[in-house]
Amino acid sequence: MKTSLVRAVGVLVCLASFVLGASQAGAQDEALRREVRAWLDANYVDSDASFAAKVRGQVEQDLVEGNDFLMSFGPRVMRPGRAHQIHVFAGRFYAFPLTEAQRQKLMSSPDGVSYAGGKRGYQIEPTRAFVWNPQIENAAGLDPRSRINGAVTFEGREPLPEKLAVRMSYRIGRTTTQKFYYLDAIPAENRGTLSFSMDPLMKEDDKEEIAGPLVVFVDLCEIVEELDPQFNTRTPKIKVYSNSAPVLLDVGAASQASSASSRAFGNPSPSSRASGLVGSKWRFGGTDTTVEFLEGGKFLWSGSATNGFWKQEGATVTINVNNFTLFQFILEGDRMTGTWERLQGEDVGEKNFSSLQRI
Percentage of residues in the chain with pLDDT exceeding 70?
86
- Sheet of 68-73: strand order equals 92-97, 84-89, 68-73, 113-118
CA 219 from chain centre, in angstroms, equals 10
Dist CA 29 CA 27 (whole Å): 5
Window from 100-109, 113-122, 171-180, 350-359 with minimum mean pLDDT: 350-359
Buried b (16+ CB within 10 A) or exposed e, 115-150: bbbbebebebeebbbbbbbbbbebbbbbebeeebeb
DSSP line for 300-341? EETTEE-S-EEEEETTEEEEEETTTEEEEEEEETTEEEEEEE
- Write down the pTM of the prediction: 0.71
Window from 2-6, 209-213, 220-224, 276-280 with minimum mean pLDDT: 2-6
- The pLDDT of residue 1: 45
- The pLDDT of residue 74: 95
Compute the Cα dihedral for 89, 328, 214, 4 and give only its sign.
positive
- The pLDDT of residue 332: 77
- The pLDDT of residue 349: 76
What separation in angstroms does the CA of 235 have from each of 49, 118, 230? 45, 20, 11
Dist CA 276 CA 271 (whole Å): 10
R_g (Cα) of the chain, nearest Å: 21
Pick the closest to residue 134 from 244, 247, 243, 216 (CA basis): 247
Dist CA 257 CA 200 (whole Å): 20
Q: Is the pLDDT of residue 171 over 80?
A: yes
Dist CA 77 CA 60 (whole Å): 19
pLDDT confidence bin for 350, thresholds 50/70/90: confident
What average pLDDT does this structure show over 119-130? 91
pLDDT confidence bin for 28, thresholds 50/70/90: confident
Q: Which residue has the higher pLDDT, 28 or 148?
A: 148
Pick the closest to residue 199 from 148, 244, 241 (CA basis): 148
- The pLDDT of residue 274: 37
Instruction: Specify the 3-state DSSP secondary structure of 12.
Output: helix
Write out pLDDT tens, residues 192-206: 999 999 999 998 888
Window from 18-22, 33-37, 40-44, 147-151 with minimum mean pLDDT: 18-22
- The pLDDT of residue 313: 81
User: What are the two backbone dihedrals, phi and then psi, of residue 260, each rounded to the nearest 5 degrees?
Assistant: -65, -40
H or E stretch covering 167 = strand 165-172
- The pLDDT of residue 252: 87
H or E stretch covering 195 = strand 191-198
- The pLDDT of residue 266: 37
Q: Is the pLDDT of residue 240 over 70?
A: yes
Q: Is the pLDDT of residue 270 over 60?
A: no
- The pLDDT of residue 231: 67
Total residue length of the chain: 359
Q: Burial level of 343, CB count in 10 A (0-12/13-18/19+)?
A: middle
Domains of the chain and CATH, by start: 11-118 (no CATH), 123-262 (2.60.40), 270-358 (2.40.128)
Write out pLDDT tens, residues 3-27: 444 333 333 333 333 344 444 556 6
| Contact in structure between 176 and 118 (CB atoms under 8 Å) | yes
Q: Which residue has the higher pLDDT, 26 or 138?
A: 138
Q: Which residue has the higher pLDDT, 237 or 23?
A: 237
Q: Which of the 8 DSSP states describes residue 137?
A: T
| Contact in structure between 27 and 20 (CB atoms under 8 Å) | no
What contacts 336, CB < 8 A, 6 or more positions away? 282, 317, 329, 330, 355, 356
What average pLDDT does this structure show over 136-152? 94
Pick the closest to residue 152 from 181, 185, 192 (CA basis): 192
- The pLDDT of residue 334: 82
Q: What average pLDDT does the chain have?
A: 83
- The pLDDT of residue 209: 85
Q: Which residue has the higher pLDDT, 255 or 278?
A: 278
- The pLDDT of residue 9: 34
